Homo-oligomer: A and B are copies of this chain.
Amino acid sequence: MKGSLDFIYNQQKELSTLSGIGALIGWDQMTYMPRMGAQEKSEQSALLSRISHEKVVSDEFWSHIEKLNQESIYEQLSEKDKHVVKRLYTDVEKSRRIPSEFVVKISKATTIGYQAWEQAREKNDFKTFAPHLEKIIDLEKEYCNFFEISGPKYNTLLDDYEEGMTVDTLRKEFSFLKKEIVEILDKIKSTNTYENQKEFDKTIDAEEQKKLCKIVHEKMRLPSEKTRLDESTHPFTISMGNDDVRITTSFQRKGPFFSFFSTIHEAGHALYELGMPKGDYKDTVISDSPSLGLHESQSRFWENMIARSVPFWKNFYPEFKKTNSEAFKDVDFDTWYRVINLVKPSLIRVEADELTYCLHVILRFEIEADLMEDKIRVKDLPIIWNEKMDEMFGVTPSNDVDGVLQDMHWSGGNVGYFPTYAIGTIYSAQIYNQIAKENRNLESEIENGEFGNILNWLDKNIHQYGRLMMADDIIKKCCGEGLNSKIFVDYLKDKYYEIYQL
């Protein structure tokens, strides 16, 4: 028993170390790598993945896990070891089901698929991408056959990102959410406020944007000795270990606040990573997030629930004005608050406002579910996409680049990923609601730029569990119930009915 325990902890430590190295390569590819280094870096990344994968699925590792998982031995384990063995058993059993030839096959298909997606975007022509996407969808279906998850095939894909989540649950939540958001949107569109609303047309230069990002970075208590803020085309958070979690933003995007809100979003992810279980669980499978949805709940919480709220800006707007006196000269608090909460149906998901964002996700969810159940065909996606855009937003893209080709996820075989964005958004409203219930001073704390209590709550009720529970169980435990769009819808109504004077 001792020998097996030593082996599995040592193996997890090595895997965790390799994962930290992989994170560094990924970070470098997105930030500082000289252009011509791309090919070598991707070879480095591929070799490292192979070394890790071989360790995960090795027979020796599996034999130790199986031994420790035998009832007679398992019962003698400490609570901690039980958690680790149980989690490891599930993970490794799952990984070992995927034949290595299939891993090679899908890796090739998605590498070529990604290139085809890029070409299709350049040519603004979905047909260039379609045969590759067909192949990828076929492989995703083949992938599902390796597992025995009940219900539609799509459940298996969802399970990879959001363990335990099912199409049925999401169809129910999302159809309610869609109906409600579309109704709110229609109401808003009918108001004078909406008719007359204007976007902020001032610019803030990159250096000033950077300063504001650093200020919020510090206010959110990201420790500078464990984090960095760099620039990349697409903002991201990456963890190289418990003591080195890096975020990026972009100062080149349209709109002067993109960098600010994206920094807050990524800082939310980073705080989660920094709060992962340490001590006994450091470098084990437990020290990770149980789902992408729960991870996204942390970024959305800070980005939307906190940083698009009245109290946050009561504290922060004077600071903004100070740094950018020229741009904000004639902009009063009310105008400002409306500007950053402007509702405007957009074609592009990543540019969507808080209200309509989830509609973009639901659109993709519906398409994925139908593709996996053979109800629709890849070649018809541009038409289906535009019909759904019209149905939900009342706007349709004039080309595929602004439509079905806008996201890279499918080209990489990440089918089932999109829903986690909406799940996280819904969770974030539930979490805020719960904290507000428990802490009557919440708003005044935010107004004073005091985030210590909030961060403690998140650490205690979410971060510290790592993968000791599934995501929805963590939410149930701290909020009294699992995924529930109703709280999010109520929040949207409260906020946007007021802004649009409904």
Question: A residues near B, CB below 8 A?
Answer: 14, 17-18, 20-21, 24-25, 28, 32-37, 39-41, 43-44, 47-48, 51, 223-228, 230, 240-244, 246
Q: Is the CB of A243 within 8 A of B44?
A: no
Q: Is the CB of A228 within 8 A of B28?
A: no
Q: Is the CB of A244 within 8 A of B37?
A: yes
Contact of A244 among B21, B33, B225, B228 (CB under 8 A): B33
Interface centre among A17, A21, A33 (most CB of B within 10 A): A21
Given A24-B24, A40-B243: A47 in contact with B227 (beta carbons within 8 A) = no
Q: Which residues of chain B are within 8 angstroms of A243 by Cβ–Cβ distance?
A: 34, 36-37, 39-40
Q: Is the CB of B34 within 8 A of A228?
A: yes
Q: Which residues of chain B are within 8 angstroms of A230 by Cβ–Cβ distance?
A: 32
Q: Is the CB of B34 within 8 A of A225?
A: yes
Given A25-B21, A40-B20, A47-B18: A34 in contact with B224 (beta carbons within 8 A) = yes
Known: A17-B44, A21-B48. 10 other contacts (CB 8 A): A21-B21, A21-B25, A21-B44, A24-B25, A32-B230, A34-B226, A36-B223, A40-B244, A41-B241, A51-B51
Closest-CB distance, A273 to chain B (whole angstroms) = 13
Closest-CB distance, A112 to chain B (whole angstroms) = 22
Given A17-B47, A47-B18: A241 in contact with B37 (beta carbons within 8 A) = yes
Q: Which residues of chain B are within 8 angstroms of A33 by Cβ–Cβ distance?
A: 244
Contact of A20 among B14, B44, B223, B240 (CB under 8 A): B44
Q: Which residue of B lies closest to A46 (CB)?
A: B17
Bound state CA distance, A247 and B20, in angstroms? Answer: 24
Q: Which residue of B lies closest to A21 (CB)?
A: B44
Q: Which residues of chain B are within 8 angstroms of A36 by Cβ–Cβ distance?
A: 223, 225-226, 243-244
Q: Which residues of chain B are within 8 angstroms of A40 by Cβ–Cβ distance?
A: 17, 20, 240-244
23 contacts across the A-B interface (CB closer than 8 A): A14-B47, A17-B43, A20-B44, A21-B25, A24-B24, A24-B25, A28-B28, A32-B230, A33-B244, A34-B224, A34-B228, A34-B244, A35-B225, A35-B226, A36-B225, A36-B226, A37-B240, A37-B243, A39-B243, A41-B240, A41-B241, A44-B240, A51-B51
Interface centre among A40, A228, A242, A246 (most CB of B within 10 A): A40
Q: Which residues of chain B are within 8 angstroms of A227 by Cβ–Cβ distance?
A: 34
Given A17-B43, A21-B44: A226 in contact with B37 (beta carbons within 8 A) = yes
Q: Which residues of chain B are within 8 angstroms of A21 by Cβ–Cβ distance?
A: 21, 25, 44, 47-48
Q: Which residue of B lies closest to A27 (CB)?
A: B28
Q: Which residue of B lies closest to A35 (CB)?
A: B225
Q: Which residue of B lies closest to A241 (CB)?
A: B40
Q: Which residues of chain B are within 8 angstroms of A244 by Cβ–Cβ distance?
A: 33-34, 36-37, 40-41
Closest-CB distance, A18 to chain B (whole angstroms) = 7
Bound state CA distance, A223 and B227, in angstroms? Answer: 31
Bound state CA distance, A352 and B226, in angstroms? Answer: 37
Q: Which residues of chain B are within 8 angstroms of A246 by Cβ–Cβ distance?
A: 34
Bound state CA distance, A47 and B13, in angstroms? Answer: 10
Q: Which residues of chain B are within 8 angstroms of A39 by Cβ–Cβ distance?
A: 243
Bound state CA distance, A242 and B37, in angstroms? Answer: 8
Closest-CB distance, A19 to chain B (whole angstroms) = 10
Q: Which residue of B lies closest to A50 (CB)?
A: B14
Closest-CB distance, A45 to chain B (whole angstroms) = 9
Closest-CB distance, A164 to chain B (whole angstroms) = 31
Bound state CA distance, A24 and B40, in angstroms? Answer: 12
Bound state CA distance, A51 and B223, in angstroms? Answer: 32
Q: Which residue of B lies closest to A224 (CB)?
A: B34
Bound state CA distance, A225 and B39, in angstroms? Answer: 13
Q: Which residue of B lies closest to A20 (CB)?
A: B44
Q: Which residues of chain B are within 8 angstroms of A28 by Cβ–Cβ distance?
A: 24, 28
Q: Which residue of B lies closest to A37 (CB)?
A: B244
Bound state CA distance, A246 and B28, in angstroms? Answer: 13
Q: Which residue of B lies closest to A47 (CB)?
A: B17
Closest-CB distance, A312 to chain B (whole angstroms) = 26
Q: Which residue of B lies closest to A244 (CB)?
A: B37
Closest-CB distance, A23 to chain B (whole angstroms) = 10
Bound state CA distance, A116 and B214, in angstroms? Answer: 37
Closest-CB distance, A266 to chain B (whole angstroms) = 15
Q: Which residues of chain B are within 8 angstroms of A241 by Cβ–Cβ distance?
A: 37, 40-41, 44
